[in-house]
A and B are shown apart, each in its own frame.
Chain A
Amino acid sequence: MTLLTVESLKVGYGDLIAVRDVSFTVKPGEIFVLLGANGSGKTTTLRAISGLIRPIAGRIAMEGEALGAIKPHAVARLGISHVPEGRRIFPNLSVDDNLTVSYLPTRTDKSLRAILDEVYGLFPRLRERHKQMAGTMSGGEQQMLAIGRALMNCPKLLMLDEPSLGLSPVMTDLVFERLEAISNQGLTILLVEQNASAIDLATSGVILSNGVVSMAGDRAALSSTQYIQKAYLGV
């Protein structure tokens, strides 16, 4: 049983092919990491899954159903949440409003209040600042908000694009620790990272190099230094 299937994905920007041939599957309940150097095509892959960019070729399927050419909001309504690169919170909305606009009543029986309480329970810092304009929060707080926002639709799959980017080691540890807690509640996570310490969280994953999968394996295989070197140094 697989939750997400990506098959022979090919995505480009004009003449430039950013993702040449990427395949992987994410199983329910796992933390799957997508590693790779700058420009290897990690963000492009997530954007294709979310429907933000149309693939040139390939197939993306959620629980066996191909997504086809559906709009990003329809992908979100299927239960795929995306914490984008650079966080992209709504800067002129309060923390509360960032979360409430992201609540999708069609996806759950839980009330808005109940889910808000869950998210605030996970990130107490957000509750303290619930009235604050999101754009005025620190980078770490904004990252928590971006993750909290992605949880508001009760997703089946949570995708995160370099959540550690720009965070202090302490804040990174906190975010990773929260991701583990979320995962322990049964949510499936697809984590894009350059920070190799993400491997410690992972159940399995792939390493991308120049738009193709150069390595695939479980945590033990990924942690072997030789693989990491190959991915990052391109040797």
Chain B
Amino acid sequence: MSSTVVSLIQALASGLLVGGVYGLFSIGFSLAFGVMRIVNFAHGELVMLGMYAAYSVYLLTGADPLLAIPIVGIFLTVVGAGLYLVVYERFVGKATLQQLLVAIAISMVIQIILQMIYGPETRGVQSVLGSQYLIYGPFFFSYGQIAAFIVAVICVGVLELLLQKTRWGKLIRAVADDPEAAEIVGANSRAINTVAFAVSCCLAGIAGCVLIIYYPVNPGTGMALMPIALIATVIGGLGSIKGAFLGGIICAIVQQLTSTFWSPALQDVPLYVLLLVFLAFFPFGLLGRKTAH
């Protein structure tokens, strides 16, 4: 195999693995948008909160971040429900600018609190998985990334199943289609929105747990992650869960190819080009629905 082909395959495979995690935090963002039309620019900060939470569990108990998923998931679910009822609910149906400003304010609050607790340094965990590699011929993959990818695929699968098959999932989709119509058939849209937003934050928390395995965290991490969720969601189609997951994988593959064949420093440049192209020519993305209200 020529070295170019090896590099290409390595980049595609690494992109797929990393992309699973991008997809995982993008689906949470997409869910909040799809159901409540909330553009939650604080989603990156919520992923970061999940990373710090998993880091704290690791500090206190030495537990691997993967084992912290249940507790961090519950913690972020509670945070999400609280944030929705106290803050976001007031901004459902309001202008995007208002939502944007509120989300930025929330981002800042989360950032400042975390900075006060943990300081500005970058922090990581010594995960058994993160430091070991699966080596196969000329290819190598971090076990941490493989584990993260598996968790991401499970989460997307479970979420899709819940949304398609369960009563609550169907109610969430009904509210996404038409909140007023859902109310007049007896659905408590406030409760349903709270659940949907809490699930969105829970997914952010789980994404934080798997990210911290191989990606150290500092108070700027949330801001660095947010554009990826946004671009993945636009590529996949606003409000589409499967689309956001696919968009996350595309983003990561594009980044890996750019950094392999061009320059790691420029890995985000094509992402913004993609964002502009999709916004201008394919506003419904790959899997978006044109019937959204």
Contact = CB atoms under 8 A, between A and B. Distances in A.
Q: Do they bind each other?
A: yes
Contacts of A101: 167, 170-171, 174, 182, 185, 187
- Which interface class (under 10, 10 to 19, 20 to 34, 35 or more) fits A? 20 to 34
A84 B177 contact: no
Given A90-B174, A92-B173, A93-B170, A72 B183 contact: yes
B186 A102 contact: yes
Q: Which of B178, B184, B289 has the most CB of A within 10 A?
A: B184
Interface in B141-185: 167, 170-171, 173-174, 176-178, 180-185
Given A101-B185, A150-B185, A72 B180 contact: yes
Contacts, number: 71
Given A91-B177, A135-B291, A97 B183 contact: no
A84 B178 CA distance: 12
Interface string A135-173: 100000000000001101100000000000000000000
Contacts of B177: 90-93
Nearest to A106: B186
A92 B289 contact: yes
A42 interface: no
B188 interface: yes
A76 B181 contact: no
B258 interface: no
A63 to B, nearest CB: 18
Nearest to B165: A97
Main secondary structure of the interface of B (DSSP, over half): helix
Interface string A69-103: 00111011100011010001111110001101110
A52 B186 contact: no
Q: Which of A52, A97, A150 has the most CB of B within 10 A?
A: A97
A93 B184 contact: no
Contact of A88 (B173, B176, B178): B178
Nearest to A134: B177
A120 B181 CA distance: 21
25 contacts: A72-B180, A72-B184, A73-B186, A75-B184, A81-B184, A81-B185, A84-B181, A88-B178, A88-B181, A90-B173, A90-B174, A90-B178, A92-B177, A92-B289, A92-B291, A93-B177, A97-B173, A100-B167, A101-B167, A101-B170, A101-B174, A101-B182, A102-B186, A104-B186, A153-B185
Interface of B: 167, 170-171, 173-174, 176-178, 180-189, 289, 291
Given A76-B186, A90-B174, 5 more contacts: A92-B289, A93-B170, A100-B170, A101-B171, A101-B187
